[in-house]
Amino acid sequence: MFKRLVQLFRGRPHRVEGIASLPDGEARAMIVGDPFNEGAQIVIARVEGQLYALDALCPHATDGHFNEGKLIEGRYVWCPAHNYRFDPATGKPIGAVCKKATCYRLEVDGDDCVVYV
């Protein structure tokens, strides 16, 4: 009962295997869980050694998704639709007026991580 209550606030856990090999300054896009039933399209980015998870859907407009690969300036995820940049640590837009990107809690577990969506 307590575990289910905690999950309500943390989200459902999804294991991402082998993410420890993600180089610093890069992002990888993926789908966790069933995208039609409480899963999500996410981007995991590594900045200065730390891993961060964001919803891949850009908050600027409905047609944008964050890109994977090299981060802008080694630290910002970006959306190719209008080239907005976002800080993966906070979800805040950089140099633009826009809503924050949705950030998900992430815990590193050896070579894997668990993302709570």
The site for ligand FES (CB under 6 A) is made up of 58, 60-61, 63-64, 79, 81-82, 84
Query: Minimum distance from CB of 8 to ligand FES (Å)?
Result: 30
Query: How near is the Cβ of 61 to ligand FES at its closest, in Å?
Result: 4
Which residue number, 14 or 64, has a Cβ lying nearer to ligand FES?
Answer: 64
Write the DSSP string, 62-113.
Answer: TT-B---EEPBTTTBEEETTTTEEE-TTT--EESS--PPPPEEEEEEETTEE
Rounded-to-integer distance, Cα 61 and Cα 82, Å: 9
Q: Whose Cβ is closer to ligand FES: residue 52's or residue 66's?
A: 66
